[in-house]
Structures are given as C-alpha cells and as structure tokens.
Structure 1
Amino acid sequence: MSGALTFIEPTEEHARLLLDWRTRPDIAGQMLSVVAYDVERQKAWLRRSKERDDYVHRILCVDGEPAGHVSITVTEPEWRIATIGVLMGERAGRMGAAPLNFAYMLNHVFFTLGLRKVVNHILGTNSPRLLKGQPMIGYRPVGVLKRQVVKDGQEIDLHIFEMLAEDWLAVRDRFRIYQDMDGREWR
C-alpha cells in the first residue's frame, strides 16, 4: 500500500456507496445538509451534478479504492468564489497522504477553475484538529457564527475560513503537490 491518491468522477454506480457515506451518523452529523436514504434520488442527484457548471466533485481513492467524496461549489460565479467539501467515508481517507486531498482541490480551484477565493463553513462539532489545521493549510479564520446551525435541536457554532489564490501560492510549496484532482500539473 503506497497511499497513492487519485480522484474519479462519480457515476450512478457509486450512488449507494455515496449514500451510505452521506447518511452514516458520524458523517451526517458534520454536514450542513440532510440527505434522505433514497438510492434513486441519489442517482438523480448524480445526473444533475454532471450537468452543472458550478459544481465539481470526485471520489477520492486511496491506492485505487474509494475512500471519500470531495466537492467544489462555485458560490459566487461573478466574484469567482467557491467553497469546498470533504467527506471521508473510509478509514483510509483519514490516514497517510489522504488528508492532503486539500492540495489537489485547491490547485483545482485556483488553477483549473481560475477562481480567486475559497470560503468554507465548518461546523463546530467537527474535530478540533480540523479547525486548528485550517490556518496551517493557508486559510484565514474569519470568525465564528455562534449557535448558527440547529441540528436535531442542538445549536452549533459555524466557523468560517477563507483563502485567496495568492494565499495558496504562498504556502503550496510546503506540501509539494502540484496536481489538480484530474492529474493536471500546475507548477
């Protein structure tokens, strides 16, 4: 096992796998959206996603095996701003090189898509390591919206982080990953 990362485009054949991940309690609890367990609805979502020009997503594979789902959503096309999402469905997605998935994603955002900024919203119930790690990646903490999200009757803080393209350029050499999610090299 080398821990090699690759990214593949999801197809309808991945519907059940993605749905199993997205509805698993430990993952669903960290998501802003709620997903019903409906395979046909998941397949329809995959078909619609393929047609969108403001959404890019891939299945993250570790040594060729699906381990997670990553996405880029262009939230403000005119301003060239996106948000990214990461869901690790398998343990392999949280080990070794897999946590470096952000480098491929940020190369995709800033080089492939030519965007200028990423703004991410992270629930306060996520791992403290995840929240503390954002500045090490190059994100600037914007602030915390106290008790912003209500899930299952629980009020949850929402942490906001941002990164400009030049912020990523300033730190990306320390990660030594120059490919995007499709394997294109950006030096």
Structure 2
Amino acid sequence: MNKEQLIALGLSEEQAQSVLDGFGQMVPKSRLDDKIQELKTAKDTISKYETDLEDLKPKAAGNEALLQQIQQLQDDNKTAKEQYESELAETRLNSAMKLWLTNKVHDVDIAISQLDKSKVELDELGNVKSGLEDQMAALKESKPFLVIQEEQQQQQQPPSWSEGQYNPPSNTNDDPFAAKLAKYE
C-alpha cells in the first residue's frame, strides 16, 4: 500500500505518512515465515544429531575413549539446548513486557529494569498474563516520573472543520457563544 492509496481512502497526508512510517517497524509475513522455517529446520537437525549420537553408543561398545567422547558431545548438546531455551524464554518475557509497557511509561527499558521479572507470567500466546499490574502500581508510587499520566495519554483534539461543519474539541460541553450570551441575560 502506498501513500496515494491511503489518501484515496480518506486519510490526510500526515496520517498517510505516519501509517507508512509505522510499516517500517513491522516484519513482513514472508520474512517471518522464512525465519520460522529456518528454526524448524535447525530443530530437526539438532534432533537428528541427538539420535545419531544415541545410535553410535552401541556401535562403540568396546571403545571407552569413543564412549566418553559421545557422552561429552551429548552433555554439550544438552547444555547448549538449555541455554538456548533460557535465552528464548528471557527474550519472550522482555518482548511481552515491552509491549505491555508501551504507552504506559516514558522509558520502557528503565521501567523494565525496575520491575521483578520473576513475578511476571505469560500466557500461551506470549502475552503478559499477570504480575505487572501490581508492580506498575508500586512503580507509580515510587517513581512517578517514569509513568505516563492519564491526562498526558488523552491528547486534546484541536477544533477542526469538516464538510462545512465545525467540530469543537471533545472536552468542551458548552457552546462558547451560548456561554457568552448567557452572561448578558
């Protein structure tokens, strides 16, 4: 989708540009599918190596040095797998926390460093399930400068004209002319 198509859909030029800028942060589905396929291939290769090592054990029955080498390789594979899984879990946790904290704090990285990750639980989809709400309340009390206040989140809409009609800001309930007229009654 390009800028002209977005403008044709009714967006202003600034809005169309911000949408296009947002696309730069997204990962195309084809690239994601490629990475998923690479990961699947790597996992299949690792499991093949593990089964090959298991198959070598009976063949090396009389050779102690070879058995020790096979055992060492299995231990190394196990250690590497555990390290990979822990790094993957840490990355998933950090990503979920960053996503949850976006638009709630001024600096996500500083806020994450102030929170206890061991209390955070993720659901099956990798979203934050529990543990951040109470920590966020404590963070509001201890370091309020990190937290975006609700007034700051609700940006005032400037008055605008659309198809010949005046649209006042949403936070004003009274017509300014009617208020002025009421003073003289």
TM-score, normalised via structure 1 length: 0.19
Question: Counting helix residues as a fraction of each chain, which structure ranks higher?
Answer: 2
TM-score by length of 2: 0.20
